[in-house]
Amino acid sequence: MKTIQKFMMISTIILLGGISICLFSSAAESQENTALKSMITELETKIKDADKRMVAHPTFLEELRELIEKYKASIRKLYFKDSFMDKNFSKAPKWTVTSGTFFVNDALRLSTSVYVEPSEPQKETSTQQGTKSVEEQAIGLVLDNLFGTPKKEADTQDTQTQETKKETTPASILSKTDIPPDFEINVEFLSNSQWGDFEIILLGKKTFIPRYRLSYKAVSSGDRPMELIRESKKRKFVIEAATKYPATDDGKLHKISWIRYQNGAMTILMDNKVILETYEVYFRDNFTGISILNNGGSYEFASVEIFKALPQTQ
């Protein structure tokens, strides 16, 4: 274990040295960035191997991952970024609310809340008549014919069979931006929901038609997993569903990472841990925007970032 940790520390020093070279050697910036990318990719592979073999302390590996993420952002193309720190989502970058309500709250997060029923209401089908004997029911029918049904009982029965369902209006917001076919989307969010879902949607063409959707389910499970969805001609196809269901509806910040590589491989990570992997090449053109759709629940979004995906690690 000590040997691995020493290697990791040496790798970190080399990584920082490479970063310094990139910062102070502008004439060779492109070449140095390429070398640094290769170094980061190799270091990620080593970290993944060390984690799998459990030969280094998890905290140390997590610190290395955070360091890598920090410098990955500095050497690759950034297409979109908003942390809502300016308390304004109508400019730099511009978001457009297309339905429902969004606002930046006191915690400087984009907030949205939509009421949702946890389940369909059940009809009450049983009445007092159903518990009576045949003789009692017959006598009751005769009395009803003679004197009518008591008003109070009739009102109670109507109340028992009445269904009530509140209307829900999904909240939708979008931002126009060019996104390449190979991308990495990082969304930092907070969920206070026990039911419902929100979607991160990639839009296409000038009319901003939904192309791909990442559907986040509050309190996800095997019956309600996160899903990757392709939309074509207003029809939706589930590409793949998550096989892991981390607890993220705890009122704390979490990060979803949605990565698509040049070969069409897609990976979904929750807090840097893989929960879904698949392959999808149906749409190969650039996307024209990103949208967040709240179908039900209470959510806050701390940041949205879109990068060009780094080369896929094996």
CA distances to 16, 145, 261, 306 from 309, rounded to whole Å, are 21, 77, 6, 9
What pTM did the predictor assign?
0.66
Q: Which residue has the tokens 């297309």?
A: 98
With 0-12 / 13-18 / 19 or more C-beta atoms within 10 angstroms meaning exposed / middle / buried, residue 253 is middle
Within 10 A of 285 (CB to CB), how many other CB atoms are there? 10
Contact between 282 and 232 (Cβ < 8 Å): yes
Residues 9-50: tens digit of each pLDDT: 555 555 555 544 444 433 444 555 666 767 777 787 888 788
Helices (H), 54-130: 58-75
Do β-strands 227-232 and 273-279 pair in parallel, antiparallel, or remain unpaired?
Answer: unpaired
Describe the crossing of helices 29-53 and 58-75 by its angle, rounded to 10 degrees.
Answer: 160
Question: Residue 253: what pLDDT?
Answer: 97
Question: Residue 8: what pLDDT?
Answer: 56
Question: Residue 59: what pLDDT?
Answer: 80
- pLDDT averaged per 10 residues, the chain (length 314): 55 52 43 66 80 79 77 78 92 94 96 80 41 53 50 41 54 97 97 95 94 97 96 94 96 97 96 96 95 97 95 74
Q: Residue 45: which residues within 8 A CB-CB, separation 6 or more?
A: 313, 314
Identify the CATH number of the domain defined by range 78-116+167-308. Answer: 2.60.120.200
Question: Residue 100: what pLDDT?
Answer: 95
Residue 151, SS3 per DSSP: helix
Question: Residue 242: what pLDDT?
Answer: 97
Helices (H), the chain: 2-24, 29-53, 58-75, 134-147, 151-161
Question: Residue 122: what pLDDT?
Answer: 42
